[in-house]
Amino acid sequence: MKGSIHPKGYRRLLPSLTALVEFESAARLSSFTKASHELGVTQAAVSRQIKALEEQLGVALFYRRYRSIQLTDAGKELNKVVASALQKISGVFDKFALEADEREVVLGTTAAFSHFHVLPRLSELKAEYPEIHLRLATLMFTSELHPDEVNLFVRYGDGTWPDGKSYFLFDEEVFPVCSPSWLNNQPHITSLVELASTDLIDYDSTLEGWMGWNQWFDLNDYSVPKLRYTLRCSLYTDAIQAALHGQGVVLGWGRLVEDFLATGKLVRVTPHSVKVDDSYYLVVPNGQEITQTIHDVMSWLKQE
Domains of the chain in start order, with CATH, are 10-71 (1.10.10.10), 103-168+279-302 (3.40.190.10), 173-275 (3.40.190.290)
Least confident range from 40-49, 204-213, 228-237: namely 204-213
Please give the Cα distance from 274 to 253 (Å, whole number): 10
Categorize the per-residue pLDDT at 296 as very low, low, confident or very high, splitting at 50, 70 and 90.
very high
The DSSP letter of residue 115 is I
pLDDT of residue 188: 80
Half-sphere exposure of 131 (CA within 13 A, CB side): 9
Q: How many percent of the chain have pLDDT more than 90?
A: 55
| Bridging pattern class, strands 152-157 and 104-110 | parallel
Q: How much is the pLDDT for 260?
A: 96
Mean pLDDT of all residues in 160-169: 92
pLDDT beyond 70 at 263: yes
**Confidence class of residue 261 from pLDDT cuts 50, 70 and 90?**
very high
Do the strands 173-178 and 250-253 form a parallel or antiparallel pair, or are they unpaired?
antiparallel
| pLDDT confidence of residue 266 | 97
Partners of residue 279 on adjacent β-strands: 157
H or E stretch at 219: helix 213-219
What integer is the mean pLDDT of 160-167? 91
Q: What is the pLDDT of residue 270?
A: 93
Average pLDDT over residues 77-85: 89
The DSSP 8-state label assigned to residue 145 in this structure reads: S
Residues 243 and 179: their CA atoms lie apart, in Å, by 6
Provide mean pLDDT across the span 80-95: 77
How far apart, in Å, are the Cα atoms of 225 and each of 175, 188, 291? 19, 21, 52
Indicate the pLDDT class of residue 210, thresholds 50, 70 and 90.
confident
